[in-house]
A and B are shown apart, each in its own frame.
Chain A
Amino acid sequence: EAQVTQNPRYLITVTGKKLTVTCSQNMNHEYMSWYRQDPGLGLRQIYYSMNVEVTDKGDVPEGYKVSRKEKRNFPLILESPSPNQTSLYFCASSFDGHPNTGELFFGEGSRLTVL
């Protein structure tokens, strides 16, 4: 089954304790990205990657890191989480070849709470 898998789905942590949210897709997509969803703000992009070893900042990259060492994986790293990073996080991927429909495929979301 074609899918984007995120882990963990739920996490409660404390300020300053490093954590990683993993994201893996099995569709051989070139493009992957991370979004955070907050009430009244919709989804905002954190980082994105056009292909392996190519990453770039989105609209809200502060406090986050990413890496793209393999095509299928795109982990999101919070080196020193703070309460303002409490949010719902989505990983997404898309095919950028031809034909390009532009559609993003989303993971199921990861609810993160930082105390």
Chain B
Amino acid sequence: AQTVTQSQPEMSVQEAETVTLSCTYDTSESDYYLFWYKQPPSRQMILVIRQEAYKQQNATENRFSVNFQKAAKSFSLKISDSQLGDAAMYFCAYRSPRAKLVFGAGTILRVKS
């Protein structure tokens, strides 16, 4: 069974600085998707960024980028120029085609002004 591990229960970053959230996963599949979801205090689940395993190029969405290391089964999220609105719980998730999404336990990100 696939597993997703987020080893950092909490992280803090100063406003305007950069922070990296870690995620590792375990799978025997070759074709899959990886996601980072953000959950602010409103509890809504918001997709931050998505990576297809067959793509070697790391995904980027504005201030958010990933470092996808397929051989190492690592999928970290980098947030540049952190803003107060980035404060939230962040979940790393894995999904193989037509199958369930498996989540990590989450990382709470605190942004200091």
Q: Which of B45, B100, B105 is A45 in contact with, Cβ under 8 Å? A: B100
Taking A100-B98, A103-B50 as given, write out 18 further A-B residue pairs in contact, using a Cβ cutoff of 8 Å, ordered by the A residue number: A40-B9, A40-B105, A42-B6, A42-B105, A43-B91, A43-B101, A45-B101, A48-B100, A58-B100, A90-B45, A96-B98, A102-B32, A102-B95, A103-B47, A104-B95, A106-B44, A108-B44, A109-B44
Does A31 sit at the interface, judged by CB under 8 A?
Answer: yes
Does A84 sit at the interface, judged by CB under 8 A?
Answer: no
Total CB contacts across the A-B interface at under 8 A: 55
| In contact, B44 and A102 (Cβ under 8 angstroms) | no
Expressed in whole angstroms, the minimum distance between the Cβ of B9 and any Cβ of chain A is 8
User: Helix, strand, loop or mixed for chain A's interface?
Assistant: strand
| In contact, A109 and B105 (Cβ under 8 angstroms) | no
Nearest CB in chain A to that of B47: its residue: A103
> 5 tightest A-B contacts by CB?
A102-B33, A106-B45, A42-B103, A43-B103, A42-B105
Q: Interface on B for A, CB 8 Å cutoff?
A: 4, 6, 9, 32-33, 35, 42-45, 47, 50, 52, 91, 95, 97-98, 100-106
Q: How many interface residues does chain A have, given as a range?
A: 20 to 34
Bound state CA distance, A103 and B97, in angstroms?
10
Q: Interface on A for B, CB 8 Å cutoff?
A: 31, 33, 35, 40-45, 48, 50, 58, 88, 90, 92, 96, 100-104, 106, 108-109, 111
